[in-house]
Copies of this chain bind each other. A is one copy, B any other.
Amino acid sequence: MSDNVKYVLEENRLPRAWYNINADLPAPLAPVLHPGTREPVEAADLEPLFPRAIIDQELSQEREVEIPDPVRDVYRQWRPAPLYRARRLEKALDTPARIYYKYEGVSPTGSHKPNTAIPQAFYNQAEGVKRITTETGAGQWGSSLALAGSMYGLDIEVYMVGVSYRQKPYRRAFMESFGARCIASPSEQTAFGRSVLAEDPESTGSLGIAIGEAVEMATQRDDTKYALGSVLNHVLLHQTVTGLEAMEQLAMADDYPDTVVACTGGGSNFAGIVFPFLGEQLRGGRAVEAIAVEPLACPTLTQGRFAYDYGDSAQLTPLTKMHTLGSGFVPPGFHAGGLRYHGMAAQISHLKDLGYLDARAYDQLDCFAAGLRFARAEGVIPAPEANHAVKAVIEEAERCREAGESKAILFNLCGHGNFDMQAYTDYLAGKLTNLGGSQAEVAMALSGLPSVER
Contact = CB atoms under 8 A, between A and B. Distances in A.
Contact of A176 (B2, B76, B422, B428): B428
Contacts of A419: 418
Main secondary structure of the interface of A (DSSP, over half): helix
B421 A418 contact: no
Nearest to A176: B428
A74 interface: yes
Interface residues on A, range: 35 or more
Interface in A1-37: 1-4, 6, 8, 10-11
Which of A6, A84, A173, A424 has the largest count of B CB atoms less than 10 A from its CB?
A173
B379 A70 contact: no
Interface in A173-190: 173-174, 176-179
A379 B174 CA distance: 11
A70 B2 contact: yes
B2 A74 contact: yes
Interface stretch (A146-154, A276-284, A298-306): A146-154
Nearest to A172: B425
A1 B151 contact: yes
A421 B379 CA distance: 23
Contacts of A421: 169-171, 173-174
Contact of A76 (B4, B108, B377, B381): B4
A170 B74 contact: no
A316 B449 CA distance: 72
Nearest to A73: B2
A372 interface: yes
A4 B106 contact: no
Nearest to A368: B177
A380 B73 contact: no
A106 to B, nearest CB: 6
A77 B6 contact: yes
Contacts of A379: 74, 77, 108, 147, 150-151, 178
Contacts of A311: none
Contacts of A1: 70, 73, 151-152
A38 interface: no
A169 B425 contact: yes
A380 B108 contact: yes
Given A77-B379, A177-B424, A178-B375, A106 B106 contact: yes
A158 B177 CA distance: 32
A421 to B, nearest CB: 4
Nearest to A371: B177
A372 B2 contact: no
A110 interface: yes
Given A108-B380, A150-B375, A179-B376, 19 more contacts: A1-B70, A2-B76, A4-B73, A4-B76, A6-B77, A77-B379, A150-B377, A150-B379, A151-B379, A170-B421, A170-B425, A172-B425, A173-B424, A176-B424, A176-B428, A177-B381, A177-B428, A178-B375, A178-B381
6 contacts: A1-B151, A2-B76, A4-B77, A108-B379, A178-B381, A418-B418
The 8 closest A-B pairs by CB, nearest first: A170-B421, A173-B425, A2-B73, A173-B424, A150-B376, A108-B379, A173-B421, A2-B74
